[in-house]
Amino acid sequence: MHALRTLAILTAVGPTIAAPAPMFELRRFDSAEAIRLTDFAGQILVIDFFAYWCAPCARSSPIIEEQIQKHYAARSGNAQGIPVRLLSINVEADHPDKTAAFIRKHGLSLVAHDVRGATLEQYGGKGLPYLVIVDGTRGTRGQWEFEIVYQRAGFEDINKLRTVIDGLGRKEP
């Protein structure tokens, strides 16, 4: 049943294939603190891969921060009460000062480094911005499953992202 629900969500919102999410461990932009996929167990994770020089990222990243991170934080989760978290991932190795200015200007709240692009590549990224939604709501303590339910190069529409997010965690009839 879960697979059918996921397929219905994917069909409604656009191109992607439901697949296990690759594990990652990255460093926060502003510290040496590790950020791992497993940190988001029991949550819905939206990943926004970006670079400071990417003009489409400069348009989409602040919208995603406001309309996903702040929107769902203010509502204590999606329509089913599942926590939603945005992780912005920088893929630019050079000019950390320009990246820091981008982060400040656009108000990004949780930022990690993927300066070699390994995580972007693992997630199938072919352009920027690259958006991924990972469903981390299935499983139990210590045995969480993480599934990619949406991925897309470029930013389409905030409503498509919200449709996917709000469709996760619904009880099957």
Quote the CA–CA distance of 24 and 2 in Å, as a whole number: 24
Give the pLDDT of residue 31: 92
Closest CA to 91 of 8, 13, 153: 153
130 within 8 A of 114, measured Cβ to Cβ: no
155 within 8 A of 67, measured Cβ to Cβ: no
DSSP state string for 20-71 = EPPP-EEEETTSS-EEEGGGGTTSEEEEEEE-TT-HHHHHHHHHHIIIIIIH
Give the pLDDT of residue 18: 76
CA 41 to each of CA 45, 79, 115, 134: distance values in angstroms, whole numbers, following the listed order = 9, 18, 24, 10
Domains and CATH numbers, the chain: 2-167 (3.40.30.10)
User: What stretches in the chain show pLDDT beneath 50?
Assistant: 1-16
Tokens of 72: 């769902």
pTM: 0.88
pLDDT tens readout for residues 50-97: 999 999 999 999 999 999 999 999 999 999 999 999 999 999 999 999
